[in-house]
Chain A
């Protein structure tokens, strides 16, 4: 019987170890004053109630869960191929649906109507607020990072830097920082939008020009470093940025056209529409870039930089461009968030933010604009829901554990993302089939 084969029992053993680790991770915290092992003790021996049905010590619970997972895996293994194909057919349906131009346009129109009318359905302003702050802004960030990671294939682990640039530019120009505003003349938040976008783009060029000569892992580490520098700068230069406290005096945007005056106040709905307009604009801009000469050059660089150079493409130029273009939307995200919440402080732009944006992009489907937007909506909705309702004994600290698990499952079953871009899916398929992977046998050898 395959269930009790040695390999399968080994697998059970591994799963139980993982279950034990998860039990400790999610269990009661230890204490440094009392016995440091209280956490481990409690994690296993504490009695918990499950759905109010029964109470059992945690070790029993996790043992049961482990065995269930093992049983499911044992059942899944022999049928893996069929199940995978099933999943693919389910996901192929929307792809087929959108292959026709007319249905695609109809779908976009329906989606547009839904998002336009959304404030009519969401009555609680708290949720409306979350939709803008937790979903809208994150869509902007994900769309921006998608240009860098998805289009140009550059792993950027410091995207929060651009977000921070946008937000701090807003705070600076509106006079909310300890440092006086430009020319001692604060300007309204709304007018900061183009300047914030431009500032982020310039910063993208400044950051990109020296670093984008690096490839792959090296680039990722440098971008990480830059984000940490920005974070540190903001945190320590209290005379300039307000330090760890930051500023909580960023004014709400307002528009004065003489005949028409509008003030974005406490209510989140106007922000929703402002954000929506820019999301649509960025989607249009990025879509048209994707299908332009520049988009094709990005694909070429992503697929094979040496070959791209051999047809006259300057990789550095196009990579810097990807950085700047992606930074635009990240920077706007910062302006938006600062204007809405009125607060800027270093805690909002940590490394965690960069990772989270990257998760959205990978989950949604690198290189796929609609996939990334959908991914941001799905994950951010789930996160907001979990954080605010805390169902099933969920704790905020556990969030990244679940997101990590989600990504692992995703990578196994749908490595190209929720709605993969066609090209990316092909690249993944080719890599899986072991086909056409360029081993750099001819051109490696770091030039001395």
Chain B
């Protein structure tokens, strides 16, 4: 009885639970029996060498890829747990899981404002009549999304760039815009795929600050892939380490840093040589 209660306690605390995920492309196994639990309100990181399966994991969590085995549950705050596998990417996004991409995928011919607005709009329903007649409902919707955009522009610090075309932005600004667009969908969890890739050191610091604020001020749980160890160790509260498609370690930054398996995966044979 007592046991039951504790598991329930843990379940309500979790926001994403992925169990025994296996993802194959033909003969290539990209994820092998990967299980991950993410708690509500934490900043969780997934690290690992190139090709370890980090992005495949993200794509599985967001419906871009469909793993052949395993289950993924997403526990939204006020809804029944959602089984992610088999759902389309847009359905998962509507349920409250938002993401950014490794190579930023902005709508590059649109301006900053429009980029965020597309994220802020409600894409359910048909809306054909509303678009033509522009009744009060439509106008209210537009007003609401404009408000969301203005708010997010300020949150990520792009207010003065609102009218610039996305492709004119600096790399760091594009990264922030992508985060703003993802936040515009009003998610409960946001998945950031190498948000600091290609940015300079000062932009990296800004991004780390922004990611922390996403969690602290917006209450959005953050799952993050990143290569920059300094950034990730200062930002993440817990880490999973992937190598060759499997989870090889899990723990706090301090634990991970001291874990010999992780050191081995990262430094490989050269590490052996130094020991010898």
Contacts and interface: CB of A to CB of B under 8 A. Distances in A.
A306 B64 contact: yes
Interface in A179-226: none
Which range holds the interface residue count of chain A? Answer: 35 or more
B132 A288 contact: yes
B226 to A, nearest CB: 15
B109 interface: yes
B260 interface: no
A435 B134 CA distance: 36
A294 B133 CA distance: 13
A447 B117 CA distance: 30
A324 B25 CA distance: 36
Contacts of B59: 442-443
Interface string A282-310: 00010011001111110110011011111
A313 B123 contact: yes
Interface in B173-232: 181-182, 184-185, 193
A312 B132 contact: no
A297 B109 contact: no
Nearest to A293: B121
A423 B90 CA distance: 24
Given A300-B107, A303-B110, A448 B25 contact: yes
A289 to B, nearest CB: 5
Interface residues of B, number: 51
A334 interface: no
A321 B126 contact: yes
Chain A contact residues, majority secondary structure: helix
B165 interface: yes
A411 B92 CA distance: 40
A292 B131 contact: yes
A442 B55 contact: yes
Contacts of A423: 109-110
Interface in B104-139: 105-110, 114, 117-119, 121-123, 126-128, 130-132, 134, 138
Given A296-B114, A426-B165, A312 B65 contact: no
Contacts of B123: 293, 297, 311-314
B132 A311 contact: no
Interface string B37-61: 0000000000000000001000100
A297 B110 CA distance: 12
Contacts of A300: 107, 118
Given A299-B110, A300-B107, A430-B108, A310 B182 contact: yes
B83 to A, nearest CB: 18
Contact of A314 (B90, B98, B114, B138): B90
A190 B91 CA distance: 43
Contacts of A439: 103
Contacts of B63: 309
B109 A441 contact: no
B59 to A, nearest CB: 7
Interface of A: 285, 288-289, 292-297, 299-300, 303-304, 306-315, 317, 321, 325, 423-424, 426-427, 430, 435-436, 438-439, 441-443, 445, 447-448
Interface of B: 24-26, 55, 59, 62-66, 88-91, 93-94, 98-99, 101-103, 105-110, 114, 117-119, 121-123, 126-128, 130-132, 134, 138, 141-142, 165, 167, 181-182, 184-185, 193
Nearest 9 CB-CB pairings of A with B? A292-B131, A309-B89, A426-B109, A312-B93, A307-B105, A311-B119, A436-B108, A312-B94, A427-B109
